[in-house]
Amino acid sequence: MKKILLICLSLLLALSLAACSAQEQPVTEPEATPAESPAAQPTEEPVKELFSTISFDESTPVTVDLNGDGVDETVSVTSVEGKEEDGVWTDSTVTLTVTNAQGETSEFSSEFNYLISAYVTDMNPEDSAKEILFNIDYWSDDNEIWIFRYDGKNLNQLIEREGVIKKVNGNELTISERVDCFGTWFCDILYALNEKGELNEVPGQTRTVSTEMNPVQANRDVAVELLSESGTWEEATLAPGASITVTGTDLTGFVFFTDENGTSGRIPVTFDGYSVKLADGTSDYEAFENLPYCD
C-alpha cells in the first residue's frame, strides 16, 4: 500500500512538473516574437507611394520609367561650350536626351548659355506619365522653362515659358518671373499644371518680391491701407519721408509692405504691362526715392 501511495505521489509530482513546464512555454514564446516582428511590418505599409521629384544634371543622369510602361528610360543632359574656330563662332548648347531600353534616343537641344536645373517629376499621379522640367539661362537672365513628356519614342513639349524654377512640388511649380515693381526685377509665382498640360497661376496667392532697395522711402503723400488689429484694411496716408519694406504683390491691384512699426499695409495700384501706377496716377518711381529702373 505504501508502494502504491509512493507511486501515486510520484505520478502527481511528475504531472505537476509537466504542467509547470507547459505553463512556462508560453512565457518564452512571446520573447521570440519581437525579433521576428520587423519582417512582418512591410505588409502594414501604405499600398500607394507618390513619386518623389528627382533633380538631375550633367554629372547625374536619371534612370526612371517616364511613360509608365514598366521599362526604365535614361534621362541625361550635356552642355557644350561655344568656341571660335577659323574665325567662326559656335554657340554654346545644352542638350536633353532620353534613351530608351532599345538604345534609341530622343533629344531636345538649343543654343543656351547654361543649365539652371532639370527635374523628373509626376505632375499628375492619376496618369502613368512623368514630366521632365528643363530650365535654361539663355543669356543674362533670359531664362526659359520647358516641360516635356516622353511617349516611348519622342520627347513631346507641353510648355515653353519664361522664368526660373524655384521649387517643384507634384503638379505645383514656384517660378521666379520678371516684374518691374518698386525696383524689383523678379517675383515668385505659384503655378499648377492641369491634366490638359496647361500651367495656370494658383489663385489667391501673394507673389513674393524682394527689392534690393528695401526699405523704400516715400517722397510725397501716398494713399495706402493698413491692416488693423481686427483684420480690416483701413485707409491711411504715408507721409513724405516714411519708409516701407515692400514684400509682395498680387500683380492685379495691390503692392504689400510692412511699415516702420511692423504694421502690414498695401498700396492700391494698377498694373500697365510691367509698370505700376499708384491711385493718384503717379508711377512708383515718381512717388518713392531712388528706385532703380528695371527692364
* Residue 104 in the binding site for Ca ion (CB under 5 A): no
Interaction of residue 67 with Ca ion, rule CB under 5 A: yes
Interaction of residue 151 with Ca ion, rule CB under 5 A:
no
**Span from 60-68, 198-206, 212-220, 287-295 in contact with Ca ion (CB under 5 A):** 60-68
The Cα 122–Cα 146 span in angstroms is 15
**Binding Ca ion by CB under 5 A: which of 11, 13, 69, 286?**
69
Q: Cβ 227 to Ca ion, closest distance in Å?
A: 41
Least spacing, CB of residue 148 vs Ca ion, in Å: 13
Beta-bridge partners for 275: 272
Residue 122 touching Ca ion (CB under 5 A): yes
**127, 234, 260, 289: which one contacts Ca ion (CB under 5 A)?**
127
93 close to 108: Cβ distance less than 8 angstroms? no
Q: Give the type of residue at 126.
A: E
Q: Is 250 in the site for Ca ion (CB under 5 A)?
A: no
Among residues 130 and 266, whose Cβ is nearest to Ca ion? 130
Assess contact for 242 and 272: CB atoms under 8 A. no
Residue span binding Ca ion (CB under 5 A) among the ranges 62-70, 170-178, 190-198, 239-247: 62-70
Cα–Cα distance measured from residue 238 to residue 267, given in angstroms and rounded to the nearest whole number: 10
Q: Scan for cell 548659355, then name that residue.
A: 113
Instruction: Work out how close the CB of 51 gets to Ca ion at its nearest, in angstroms, rounded to a whole number.
Output: 7
Minimum separation from the CB atom of position 73 to Ca ion (A): 5
Query: Is there binding between residue 65 and Ca ion (CB under 5 A)?
Result: yes
Beta bridge partners of 76: 97
Give me the torsion for CA of 261, 265, 271, 273, rounded to 10°: 50
- Span of 69-77, 153-161, 190-198, 223-231 interacting with Ca ion by CB under 5 A: 69-77
Residue 256 CB-density burial (10 A; 0-12 exposed, 13-18 middle, 19+ buried): buried
Under the binding rule (CB under 5 A), the answer on residue 195 touching Ca ion is: no
**What residues contact 220, with CB distance under 8 A and at least 6 apart?**
240, 282, 287
Residue 98 Cβ vs Ca ion, minimum distance, rounded to whole Å:
9
Cell numbers for 40: 512582418
Judged by CB under 5 A, the residue of 9, 13, 14, 71 near Ca ion is 71
Q: Minimal CA–CA distance to 224: which of 280, 185, 272?
A: 280
Question: Could you tell me the smallest distance in angstroms from the CB atom of residue 94 to Ca ion?
Answer: 24
**Residues in binding contact with Ca ion, number by CB under 5 A:** 8
Nearest residue (CB) to Ca ion, 81 versus 198? 198
Residue 132 and residue 75 in contact, taking contact as beta carbons nearer than 8 Å:
yes
Residue among 206, 224, 234 at smallest CA distance from 288: 224
- Least distance (Å) between residue 123 CB and Ca ion: 7
Tell me: does residue 177 bind Ca ion (CB under 5 A). Answer: no
SS3 per residue for 4-31: HHHHHHHHHHHHHHHHHHHHHHHHHHHH
Q: Considering the complex, what minimum distance in angstroms separates the CB of residue 90 from Ca ion?
A: 34
Q: Which residues bind Ca ion (CB under 5 A)?
A: 65, 67, 69, 71, 122, 124, 127, 129
